[in-house]
Amino acid sequence: MPTAATGSRSSANGSSASQQNAAEHDSALAPGEVLLETAENPRPGLRAYLAVKRAALLARRKALRTDPPTAPHRLRARTSAEERSGVRRIRIRHHQLLSDSPPDFAGYDLGPASPEIQLGVLSSCLTHIFLIQAADLRIPLDSLEVEVEADQDPRAGQKGFEQVPIYPHNITYTVHLTSPASKERIHELHETVERACPIYNLLTNPQHISGRVVLTGSPEQI
């Protein structure tokens, strides 16, 4: 089961940084609205970022109301196998990621394997949604880290292990965060994140995937 660990940190001079950020982004808020809850001597850094995040969130919502989208976005990722090495180069927009196998699988360990990347994607998405929802709910965070673990058995599918899943399973995540907010507010944040996180919901709900094979240089599909 997912868990959330909380703590409390403080440092001098943090309140002035938070107030300065609030003043800089007042134009994105309603009159009298406060960006974040405040605590005495808050630690600057992540709280200052949450102020910026909230301003961006409000501006984004305003833009969507002004010019609402008329169709869903089509997301794309493309992966090619490098010659000689077999390293998988993932291209997403103008970004590139490397995925590789360990030496015992004819790899060079130049990057994480695909199942590991999937866990990283979940932890990254959960982290981002925690930031978004904390900014939206005005819950101050001083530190945030999400750890994801899963089991994957190399014996899966072999004799005697036919029922063992070939995919990562028993997935768990733990959120390590520091905040002066009450346990009730952290619980509210956690529940909101699970409702809003795209990748968490992708993995917890059945999906239909369709595929095809195209022969290079031929109109034929398999």
* Local confidence pLDDT in tens for the 222 residues of the chain: 555 554 443 343 444 444 444 444 434 444 555 555 544 544 557 999 999 999 999 999 999 999 999 999 999 999 999 999 999 999 999 999 999 999 999 999 999 999 999 999 999 999 999 999 999 999 999 999 999 999 999 999 999 999 999 999 999 999 999 999 999 999 999 999 999 999 999 999 999 999 999 998 888 777
User: CA-to-CA distance for 198 and 4, rounded, in angstroms?
Assistant: 19
Tokens of 31: 């009159």
User: CA-to-CA distance for 107 and 186, rounded, in angstroms?
Assistant: 42
User: CA-to-CA distance for 146 and 197, rounded, in angstroms?
Assistant: 13
Domain range 3-67+75-204, its CATH number among 3.30.450.20, 3.50.50.60, 3.30.300.20, 3.10.580.10: 3.30.300.20
CA distances, 152 to each of 101, 107, 204, 205 (Å) = 15, 19, 17, 20
Give this prediction's pTM: 0.80
- The domain ranges of the chain are 3-67+75-204
